[in-house]
């Protein structure tokens, strides 16, 4: 009995796996920004994703993430981590 491996298909799967972190973080960054409290727009306007990092570029980001806003009582990181976990699972199932 022998096993034959389609090297092109395996390579394509590895290439797809390399894209997972960036794809997942783009979706997670959009979610993080969407659930960021909105008053005058400063927090959302200064929240962005760079490669695989979500940046909240304003001084009170920690306070908002700690749930000190009625609009985001659970903060933004916890709910975003759940999105990341779900998206990773979906991406792995797709492979």
* pLDDT tens-place string over residues 17-33: 888 888 899 999 999 99
Sign of CA dihedral 51, 81, 47, 63: negative
Sign of CA dihedral 11, 16, 17, 19: positive
Question: Residue 55: enclosing H or E segment and its boundaries?
Answer: strand 53-56
* pLDDT tens-place string over residues 49-94: 998 899 999 999 999 999 999 999 999 999 999 999 999 999 888 7
């Amino acid at each position: 009995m022998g096993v034959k491996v389609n090297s092109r298909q395996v390579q394509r799967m590895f290439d797809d796996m390399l894209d997972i972190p960036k794809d997942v973080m783009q979706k997670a960054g959009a979610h993080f920004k969407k659930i960021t409290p909105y008053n005058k727009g400063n927090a959302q306007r200064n929240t962005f994703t760079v490669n695989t990092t979500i940046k909240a570029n304003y001084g009170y980001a920690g306070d908002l993430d700690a749930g000190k806003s009625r609009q985001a009582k659970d903060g933004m990181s916890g709910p975003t981590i759940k999105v990341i976990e779900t998206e990773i699972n979906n991406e792995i199932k797709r492979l």
